[in-house]
């Protein structure tokens, strides 16, 4: 089965539908530690495995919510952007972000993407809004749900 090629027109016909799911991404402690270093957010619940095992209600360290949110860009590339003929895709904004369940260190996540809307902005630009539901492998609740906007340029 070949990978679908999306166009602005085909995306307009997919409003309200899931267009795909990304590959799984492992959120290991090394990734969490790197994110903590990059963002200066070294709160113990993220980086101190021994303390988190003793004191956290989650039984260990958990990923930063913003680490999970930052995965929207690469997962959108995986599912959608790499399957379009574009000159450029630029993050435009986020709406309706809800952090629903923590991602414990060592868990895998993937993003299920649905088209909310696509607007022709002229000059070969289209504003795409997607709903992103980041699933945690083996868990009932998603890590987060967020609407993401990208300006796509042909």
114 near 17, Cβ under 8 Å?
Answer: yes
pLDDT in tens, the chain (154 residues): 455 589 999 999 999 999 999 999 999 999 999 999 999 999 999 999 999 999 999 999 999 999 999 999 999 999 999 999 999 999 999 999 999 999 999 999 999 999 999 999 999 999 999 999 999 999 999 999 999 999 999 9
Our measurement of the distance from residue 61's CA atom to the centroid of its chain's CA atoms, rounded to an integer in Å, reads 20
Tokens standing for residue 109 = 């996540």
Is pTM beyond 0.95? Reply is no
């Amino acid at each position: 089965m070949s990978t679908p090629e999306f166009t602005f027109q085909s995306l307009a016909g997919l409003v309200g539908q899931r267009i795909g799911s990304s590959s799984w991404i492992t959120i290991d402690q090394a990734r969490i530690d790197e994110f903590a270093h990059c963002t200066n957010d070294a709160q113990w619940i993220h980086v101190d495995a021994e303390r988190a095992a003793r004191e956290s209600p989650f039984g260990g360290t958990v990923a930063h919510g913003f680490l999970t949110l930052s995965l929207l860009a690469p997962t959108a590339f995986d599912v959608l952007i790499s399957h379009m003929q574009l000159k450029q895709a630029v993050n435009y904004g986020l709406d309706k972000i809800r952090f629903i369940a923590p991602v414990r260190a060592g868990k895998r996540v993937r993003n299920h993407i649905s088209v909310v809307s696509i607007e022709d902005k002229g000059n070969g630009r289209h504003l795409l809004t997607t709903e992103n539901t980041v699933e945690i492998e083996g868990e009932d609740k998603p890590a987060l749900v967020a609407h993401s906007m990208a300006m796509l340029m042909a």
